[in-house]
């Protein structure tokens, strides 16, 4: 069974990379989960000694209960309890973030958890 940070084509719809290209539109059945949303990752990947893998591991640990419930993310605050209470809204949808598609993203964590939750029901 894949870990929550691994994606499989049978379990999780493909992730979408957001774009500012002229004419680009988010595909149907897609939910934006970047840092401007309540699903955003409060752990930044930029800075000395930082990378996406570290930020995603911190995000997953936070969802598992480490650290405070509320964390600053960009210009707002995200709440672990809110994210966990709303995971079902993401199940079966493609999730969109700015992360490159050939690398890890917190959207993978959200998608795996949301779809696992949907399969248990």
Tens place of pLDDT for every residue, the chain, 121 residues? 333 444 443 456 789 999 999 999 999 999 999 999 999 999 999 999 999 999 999 999 999 999 999 999 878 899 999 999 999 999 999 999 999 999 999 999 999 999 888 777 6
Whether residue 9 lies inside any domain: the answer is: no
Whether 2 maps to a domain, the answer reads no
65 within a domain of the structure (yes/no): yes
- 70 domain-assigned: yes
Residue 66 resides in a domain:
yes
Structural domain span for residue 27: 21-120
- Position 112 in a domain: yes
Contact 61, 106 (CB under 8 A): no
Tell me if 5 is assigned to some domain: no
Strand 16-17 vs strand 94-97: parallel, antiparallel, or unpaired? Answer: parallel
Closest Cα partner for 114 from 1, 9, 38, 13? 13
Closest CA to 112 of 68, 65, 120: 120
Show the tokens assigned to 18.
């957001």
The reported pLDDT for the residue numbered 4 is 40
Q: What pLDDT, on the 0 to 100 scale, is given for residue 118?
A: 75
pTM of the model: 0.84
Counting the structural domains of the chain, the total is: 1
Is position 98 within any domain? yes
């Amino acid at each position: 069974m894949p870990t929550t940070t691994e994606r499989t084509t049978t379990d999780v719809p493909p992730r979408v990379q957001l774009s500012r290209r002229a004419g680009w539109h988010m595909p149907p059945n897609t939910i934006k989960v970047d840092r401007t949303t309540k699903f955003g990752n409060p752990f930044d990947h930029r800075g000395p000694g930082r990378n996406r893998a570290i930020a995603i591991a911190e995000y997953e640990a936070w969802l598992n209960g480490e650290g405070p419930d509320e964390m600053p993310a960009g210009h707002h605050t995200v709440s672990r309890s809110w994210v966990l209470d709303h995971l079902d809204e993401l199940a079966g949808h493609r999730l969109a973030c700015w992360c490159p598609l050939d690398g890890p993203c917190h959207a993978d964590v959200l998608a795996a958890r949301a779809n696992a939750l949907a399969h248990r029901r």
